[in-house]
Amino acid sequence: MSEHITFWYGCNVLRHGDIIHACLDILRALGYEPEPVGGVDYCCGTVKDANQTAAGGMATRTVGKLNARAAPVVVWCPSCHSHMHDFMARTNDRHFDMTYLVELLHAKRERLAPLLVRGLPMRVFVHQHIGFNDLVPVNRMVPELLRLIPGVEVVEADYVAPGYMCASFAAIPRALEDINNNTARSARAAGADAVVTVFHQCYRELVGLDAAGAIPVYNYIHLLARAMGLAYEDEYKAWKRAGEGAAALIGAERIAKVGIQFYERASLPELKKRPKLQKSDPGS
């Protein structure tokens, strides 16, 4: 009988529906019955850190909802996981066990390995950060998961980015420029065919390297899903590569749901953004 779990994906990954659906299918294949929750109704409150009253209210609401589900919680978003650990559970009574998805997949790797039936002959560079690794050792676990895929070779990393994910530096463009350049340089120096990210926030930033023609970029879930034969399309990458022409791929109906002004003000600049690569980097 399948074990019921709550899959808390957060509110920031919604632009990457393929990742959410792939995670759910992987969890089902491992014998779980995941109930997905996320969006603004399950926000961890970190987006309101500057307003502690608002952040506290959101945290209390979300902890209460997760308590009411009476099931173990598996977390996708690193912000949600660290915020629950550092803030939410310290000010609210938490009545559920919580595991970060990487931890669960790593613990079940003997069950996962036989499901990875499609070989992916490629050398990959895993994009790592310093910070979150103190909470969950993802810098060790994700490469070990990738090595389960037939044909995948994980090259040794000589660069670890600061902070706990790329989004931490959203207000510091020069820092993101350095992260992009150092990642491309290190991957190329190691002979990698692709960069693989742990977090979707880093994927969203570094997929600009892919769009610029520097090096292909994936999230680790993309590769696990491909090895399992899960055929989810990475729409975000297609939109990113299209840049100015992304509207034709997204479609007028979906754009109308968020509003054309929001799309032009918030979404389109993100899709058009390309990293400022040093001249020695391909695609600059």
pLDDT tens series, the chain, 284 aa: 689 999 999 988 999 999 999 999 999 999 999 999 999 899 888 765 556 667 788 889 999 999 999 999 999 999 999 989 888 888 899 999 999 999 999 999 999 999 999 999 999 999 999 989 999 999 999 999 999 999 999 999 889 999 989 999 999 999 999 999 999 999 999 999 999 999 999 999 999 999 999 999 999 999 999 999 998 999 999 999 999 999 999 999 999 999 999 999 999 999 999 999 987 655 44
- What is the rounded distance in angstroms from the CA atom of residue 130 to the CA atom of residue 143? 15
Contacts of 112 (CB under 8 A, 6+ apart): 26, 30, 105, 145, 148, 224
pLDDT attached to residue 52 = 64
Q: Are strands 3-10 and 73-75 parallel, antiparallel or unpaired?
A: parallel
pLDDT attached to residue 284 = 47
What is the set of domains in the chain, with CATH numbers? 3-106 (3.40.50), 116-238+264-272 (3.40.50)
- The strand pairing partners of 124, in sequence order, are 154, 194
pLDDT attached to residue 171 = 92
- What is the rounded distance in angstroms from the CA atom of residue 184 to the CA atom of residue 161? 12
The kind and range of the H/E element at 227 are helix 220-228
Look at the pTM and tell me if it is higher than 0.85: yes
